[in-house]
Structure 1
Amino acid sequence: MKVVSTEKLPEKLKTILIIDDPTSKDLEDADVLIGWPSRINLVIEKCKNLKMIQTFSAGVDNLEFKLIPPHVKIFSNAGAYALPVAEHAWGLILAAAKGVNIKERLTAYQIYGRTLLVVGGGGIGTEVARLGRSFKTFNVGISRSFKDITVFDKTDEITKAKEYVREADIIVDTLPLNLKTKGILNYDLLSGVKKNCIIVNVGRGETVDEDGMFKLLSERNDVRFATDVFWKDAEGKENFFTSKLWKLNNFFATFHTAGAYGNNEVMVNAMSIAIDNVKRFITGEETRNEVKISDYIEKS
């Protein structure tokens, strides 16, 4: 099979024959296309022989699914950034709990032994819960599926979110963005959170309803929200600097750096995981992280 990458790759990652400086003919003949969603979108219509798309990114919400023929199998790189993102989530939890980088003096919250609710049971959610053990947290996970239930003290369906939100001291959103998760953390769900609740988002910005979060934080100064991901503006860019949440003193943020932005070690490891999945596809072995297209495209 002909494997084409939209990105230049380090030589040590070329453990299979990969063309990373493709001509138009290479794209036309490609069986497998690997790269970042934004670059894949630019060339997808040139690929006439495609059988597989593999992203380097964990999330695939930026893929132009309507351009992809229905027979093409799509795979994300979910879990490849789980450790750095989970570390970052705990950095945000601690920053919010202790009032780090806020100009006024805030009451410090204790997190040892508290109830941690992880929304999303994939790689990131699993590692967030695992790290929580160091703080002796009681780990509750709600998700459609779980990578490893052993790190949780209790698990349940995500449809039961409302009853668990009321009991959580810390809520960490690790969800991908799709039709089912957009705006799932809204005012109606979160308005009943406990006093001094800390909410963290390291999934995708739009899984949290921005207006609802602004209303909640405005009404409840005891609640703190920390995020690494933002909402898209009219041009499709994350509104890092223009979100109205910056007006509030119970809002904390970093700028989509949880995946160890700029860290070559993490990036090479993530690319290696993606390429390994391509190998599995070519050799007929069991593949990982196949995307359900129905989660991203509404039925006409």
Structure 2
Amino acid sequence: MMIISTVKLPEECKRLIPVKDEGITEDDIRNAEIIMLWPSQAREILPKAEKVKIIQTFSAGVDDFPFELLKKDQLLYSNAGAYSISVAEHAFALILALAKGVGVKKRVETYPLNNSTILILGAGGIGSEVAKIAKLGFNMYVIGVSRSFKGTYYDEKYSLKDLEKVIGRADVIVDTLPLNKETRGILNYSVLSKVKEKCIIVNVGRAETVVEDDIYRILKEKPGVRFGTDVFWRVNGKENFSTSKLWELENFTGTPHIAGATANERVLKNALIQACKNVYRILNEGEGENKVKIEDYI
């Protein structure tokens, strides 16, 4: 079976699967049955891939994948969980910065984390790591709101439809949701208006799960609410990190989509190896992890 990768892979991958990752030709693309790539590369590569049956992404999220190019007999697998620890650490970096006034040029009220209540939106790989840090590091009461759950650190579990009922109990809210039809705009004004007057909200999932105008309005109406995000809304295909109007507000902070730490050699290597291990499972067990439900996106 012909397997190609658009990225140079660690040697550990070569010992797992027979993959070509250098000197890829047009014939290689045409004949490949499994292709490993970043979603941003799919639009150029997939139209040439006449025999491909399986696409494995290196990214955890696939919201920017060109689903319209997928054929009915093709399967798409994400790399969900590959960056979970790094993103969870970053979530707490934002939480602590907001809670303790880090980087603020004046004295502000600090918010305690120990024994407070945290609500985690999305209980997959990232959410489960956030829950672990919250419980073991800060003895927080952990509420999970998700379609499915990983990990054992949740004190209460709810479905997404229950979000409005429980969001008002949280001192800290962490959004780790992927972006799909169900989650787009889930944190809108109707939901956000129910948060506590003093609440920390952090987004390390996807920007568009939060309505930008609505979070801006909440931060203006409730100055005790503090919001931090690592993901920004797309304008003409690019995240508006430097131009978002949220920067006008003192109760906001952000980072330019660096939580995944893909610029870190060790983190990226581990992520690439995880993707290769999933291809190994597909080859040897007939099924891999993180198969994408196309109907969630189109």
TM-score interval, normalised by the smaller of the two chains: over 0.9
Give the length in aligned residue pairs.
295
The one-letter code sitting in structure 1 at the alignment partner of 2:157 is T
User: How far is 1:285 from its partner?
Assistant: 4.4
Matching residue of 1:224 = 226
2:168 to 166, 171, 174: 166
Alignment of 1:155-194 (within 5 A): 155-194=157-196
- Residues 186-223 of structure 1 show CA distances to partners (whole Å, capped at 9, x for unaligned) of 11101111121000000011111101000000111000
Matching residue of 2:11 = 11
* Alpha-carbon distance in 2 for matches of 1:32, 1:285: 13
Question: Structure 1 residues 261, 276: closer, same or farther in 2, change over 3 A?
Answer: closer
TM-score (norm: length of structure 2): 0.97
Gapped regions of structure 1 (runs ≥ 5): none
* Alpha-carbon distance in 1 for matches of 2:265, 2:41: 19
User: How far is 1:74 from its partner?
Assistant: 0.5
User: How far is 1:291 from its partner?
Assistant: 0.3
User: How far is 1:17 from its partner?
Assistant: 1.5
Identity of aligned residues (%): 50
> Is 2:128 aligned against 1:97?
no
* Alpha-carbon distance in 1 for matches of 2:287, 2:139: 36
Kept in 2, the 8 Å contact 1:197–1:223? The answer is yes
* Alpha-carbon distance in 2 for matches of 1:286, 1:3: 16
> Is 2:287 aligned against 1:290?
no
The one-letter code sitting in structure 1 at the alignment partner of 2:150 is K
* Alpha-carbon distance in 2 for matches of 1:279, 1:10: 15
* Alpha-carbon distance in 2 for matches of 1:77, 1:179: 20
Kept in 1, the 8 Å contact 2:10–2:272? The answer is no
Question: Structure 1 residues 261, 101: closer, same or farther in 2, change over 3 A?
Answer: farther
The secondary structure found in structure 1 opposite 2:201 is: strand
Matching residue of 1:265 = 266
User: How far is 1:286 from its partner?
Assistant: 4.0
2:67 to 43, 65, 68: 65
- Residues 244-299 of structure 1 show CA distances to partners (whole Å, capped at 9, x for unaligned) of 000000001111111124111010001100011111111234410000000111xx
User: How far is 1:121 from its partner?
Assistant: 0.7
The one-letter code sitting in structure 2 at the alignment partner of 1:139 is V
User: How far is 1:41 from its partner?
Assistant: 2.2
TM-score (norm: length of structure 1): 0.96
* Alpha-carbon distance in 2 for matches of 1:104, 1:209: 29
User: How far is 1:53 from its partner?
Assistant: 0.5
- Residues 74-129 of structure 1 show CA distances to partners (whole Å, capped at 9, x for unaligned) of 00011111111101101110001011112232211111100000000100000000
* Alpha-carbon distance in 1 for matches of 2:295, 2:185: 18
Gapped regions of structure 2 (runs ≥ 5): none
Kept in 2, the 8 Å contact 1:33–1:40? The answer is no
The one-letter code sitting in structure 1 at the alignment partner of 2:5 is S
